[in-house]
Amino acid sequence: MANFFPKSANTLPAKLLIILGVLTVTVVAGVTYYFTPKYTRVGYMPTQPVAYNHYLHAEQLGIDCRYCHTYVDQSGHANVPDAATCMNCHSYVKSDSPQLEPIRVSYETGEPVEWVRVHAMPDYVFFNHAVHVNRGVSCVDCHGNVNEMEVVWHDKPMSMAWCLDCHRNPEEHIRPLEHVYDLNWTPENAEAHAEWAREHVVSWNVNPPQSCSGCHR
């Protein structure tokens, strides 16, 4: 009987095993890298080189988020303040505190403080801070009540499903622009605010993408 299969077909099982092995390694590596606490686990709270207390600065002293995270309303990224920003105050306040030694060294040498990132999107996700805060999405929606945290932790899951829930129902997450950075703000009248939000989703042209290309570029 004639052989309908070429000789190369004899190597097909080995090729399939190699492909399956490579695919398995890729999936395991991806899960290991991206499913770490810094991306997904609520409660991730790394130790920082300087014990910065957000509750003290943001809540008790009332420092606006934008003083340290400058241009968050103009840039795609929320920057971490440099030592010069810290020294604007700490040249006069607790200027000799041992806890602030890394800040003073950074200020004098120009070498940045090695802060540990708490909130980090995977490399394949595009996120623009300015677009969100300029359409009434408060810091608290993604980061929680940072003003109540002595040590900042990862408060929200920031998973794709979590993001899409907001994109599908933006009226549930927007607020007046003057209250975006007021992390304690709540509407006095929930029904009136809900009506306001529905109207402003239209008037502000809030149309969050729900397709893959909206966030994966």
Q: What are phi and psi of 174, to 5 degrees?
A: -95, 155
Indicate the pLDDT class of residue 37, thresholds 50, 70 and 90.
Answer: low
Q: Which of 123, 96, 94, 113 is nearest to 33 (CA)?
A: 123
Residue 197, CB half-sphere, CA atoms under 13 Å: how many? 16
Read off the pLDDT of residues 90-125 as tens digits, 9 standing for 90 and up.
999 999 999 999 999 999 999 999 999 998 888 889
Read off the pLDDT of residues 22-35 as tens digits, 9 standing for 90 and up.
888 877 776 666 55
pLDDT at 202 over 90: yes
Give bridge partners of residue 174 from the DSSP assignment.
137
Q: What are phi and psi of 8, to 5 degrees?
A: -60, -20
Q: Which pLDDT score, from 0 to 100, does residue 16 have? A: 80
Measured distance CA(203)–CA(121) in Å, rounded: 30
Q: Which pLDDT score, from 0 to 100, does residue 121 have? A: 83
pLDDT at 2 over 70: no
Both tokens of residue 167? 């994109």
Query: Which residues, including other chains, have CB under 8 Å from residue 212's CB and lie 6 or more apart?
Result: none
Percent of the chain with pLDDT over 70: 90
Q: Which pLDDT score, from 0 to 100, does residue 12 have? A: 72
Indicate the pLDDT class of residue 184, thresholds 50, 70 and 90.
Answer: very high
Indicate the pLDDT class of residue 17, thresholds 50, 70 and 90.
Answer: confident
| Domain ranges across the chain | 54-80+115-215
Q: Which pLDDT score, from 0 to 100, does residue 208 have? A: 96
Burial class (CB in 10 A: 0-12, 13-18, 19+), 66: middle
CA distances from 204 to 9, 176, 178, 198, 215 (A): 61, 11, 15, 10, 20
Indicate the pLDDT class of residue 150, thresholds 50, 70 and 90.
Answer: very high
**Mean pLDDT in residue range 145-174:** 95
Would you say 179 and 185 are in contact if contact means Cβ atoms under 8 Å apart? yes
Provide the 10 A C-beta neighbour count for residue 50. 16
